[in-house]
Structure 1
Amino acid sequence: MSTVTNTTSTQSAQQTTNSSAATQQFGEEFTNFIKLLTAQVQNQDPLSPMDSTQFVDQLATFSSLEQQVQTNSSLGSISSLIGDLHTMFASEWLGETVTIESSWVPYSGTEIRYLTNAPESADSAYLTVRNSDGELIWSEQLDTEDSVHTWNGQTNTGESITEDELFEFSIDYYSGSEYISLGAPQLITTITEVGSENGTLRFGTSSHLSADLYSVTKYRDEG
């Protein structure tokens, strides 16, 4: 089920409330300070007046605190605005097909589709799949001309694998006999949930992988 988790708005509302309370508290403390300062001036010994620099230092301290409270209040407003934008932005991502780069892939019994994102100089690629214990369970040579590759849970021994288990995918790229690099697949999946974590938009997907906004790319099936 597609859902939007508006945790940012809740956090922003709490921050705004806290900032307002802090502002009110500061105002009350400043009023009390002025009353105390006035009483000190009125009751000081005319022959031994208080050092005026003390008053200046105290006023400077309160001025600094006031600026901090106002800054926190402004940040709370900005955070609230960002939360609202995240909520609006989230609805545009729900149901979108995207790619996520990940070496660890959950297998739930359905075919896994992925892109290789091979280097331009690569003319061959080899996939290896290992279980969570590091044991090799599948290997194959990939056709670099294919845009989309799949893995349906097959193993080298023909044995069935356990569903809801994590598998490590790695792809070795070669140019002729020269080794180029090691890569991870770009998994093709669908966004099913959108939320916010510490002010960052995060997605839940049909492949049981989660990622932030900057780790996903919208995918269009050219086939």
Structure 2
Amino acid sequence: MSTVDSATVAQAGTNSASASPATQKFGEEFTSFIKLLTAQVQNQDPLAPMDSTQFVDQLATFSSLEQQVRTNDSLGGISSLIGELHTMFASEWLGEKVTIESSWIPYSGSEIEYQDGAPADADKAYLTVRDPDGELVWTETLNLDEDVHSWNGQTTSGDPADPDTVYEFNIDYYRGAEYLGLSAPQVITTITDVGTENGALRFGTDSHLTADLYSVQKFKAPAGSSEE
């Protein structure tokens, strides 16, 4: 006498129990359809039988519907998996200090910390800060030996920068008198929330900057700093 593995039976039971309501409903309707089709064949007029192509068309329609139901179930499973992955990423990134490259930085009255992206052969770097109208409000020479720079809202006029305003930051690089180009600062900030936008993971930060997963890098504290 053949034996059946209990684990196999348990798995089969689990698979049956986990079938979606849509799949179960379709199975019931398909069974009813087969019974009706069988009754039609048994009771048709032998002298004027029904067109067999009608049966084929109806079976094809039900087969297509079955595939669609199964596809919807699969997509639902994938969506659930993505949601679980987003939850996992959220727990990993929340509270993490990161850097985000951005030319436009909201100023809330608190000091803005950032890193430069100076080329290896650059020996000079100049920061410029402009208001939303493009007016220059601050410029300074950066010390490229420093790992972290900051701007506390000082302006060339001596008046403090307006809070709740977005300013444009650019850093120009030189090697001697040769201009090498410019880049945006790498703003140092902390992730405060994680969400999705059009299916993509997106971070919110305490600097009011938002970015996707591929635009953030975990901040590496300078050697010897208290943040190591």
Query: What TM-score does the superposition give when structure 2 sets the normalisation length?
Result: 0.79
User: C-alpha displacement at 1:115, in angstroms?
Assistant: 0.8
Q: Note closer, same or farther for the CA distance 1:31–1:152 as it changes in structure 2 (3 Å cut).
A: same
- 5 Å matches for 1:1-223? 20-222=20-222, 223=225
One-letter code of the match for 2:188?
Answer: I
Query: What is the distance in 1 between the residues matched to 2:59 and 2:175?
Result: 72
Q: In the superposition, relative to structure 1, how do residues 210 and 47 fare at CA in structure 2: closer, same or farther (>3 Å)?
A: same
One-letter amino acid of the counterpart of residue 113, structure 2: R
| Identity between Structure 1 and Structure 2 (%) | 72
Q: Which runs of 5+ in 2 are unaligned?
A: 1-18
Q: Please report how far the alpha carbon of residue 211 of structure 1 lies from its aligned counterpart in structure 2 after TM superposition.
A: 1.6
Give structure 1 regions of 4+ aligned residues with deviation exceeding 4 angstroms. Answer: none
Q: For residues 42 and 108 of structure 1, what CA distance do their matches in structure 2 show?
A: 81
> What corresponds to 1:6 in structure 2?
none
Distance 1:32 1:175 in 2: 81
Kindly indicate whether the alpha-carbon contact (under 8 Å) linking 1:117 and 1:185 is maintained by their aligned counterparts in 2: yes
Structure 2 CA distance for partners of 1:178 and 1:44, relative to 1, 3 Å: farther
Note if contact 1:122-1:174 (Cα within 8 Å) is conserved in structure 2: yes
Letter in 1 for 2:143: D
Greater relative contact order structure (CA < 8 Å, 6+ sep):
1
Q: Is the 8 A contact 1:83 1:199 kept in 2?
A: no
For 2:142 and 2:187, locate their aligned partners in 1 and report how far apart those are by CA, in whole Å: 15
Shift of 1:28: 4.6
- Residue identity in the other structure for 1:171: I
- Structure 1: where are the runs of 5+ without partners? 1-18
How far apart in 1 are the matches of 2:126 and 2:50? 83
Q: Report the Cα distance in structure 2 between the residues aligned to 1:134 and 1:21, rounded to whole angstroms.
A: 59
Give the letter aligned to residue 172 of structure 1.
D
SS class of match (1:140): strand
Letter in 2 for 1:64: S
Q: Which has the larger radius of gyration?
A: 2
1:101 and 1:186 in contact (8 A); partners too:
yes
TM-score, reference length from structure 1 = 0.81
Structure 2 SS opposite 1:173: strand
Cα-to-partner distance string for 1:16-39 (whole Å, 9 max, x where unaligned):
xxx935434433543453344334
d(CA) in 1 for partners of 2:25, 2:136:
63
Task: Give the 3 Å change call, closer, same or farther, for CA 48–120 of structure 1 in structure 2.
Answer: farther
Deviates more, 1:145-154 or 1:63-72: 63-72
Residues 121 and 51 (structure 1), Cα distance of their counterparts in 2 relative to 1, 3 Å cut: farther
Q: Distance in 2 between matches of 1:63 and 1:36?
A: 16
Q: Which is worse superposed, 171-180 or 149-158?
A: 171-180
Q: RMSD of the alignment, in Å?
A: 2.2
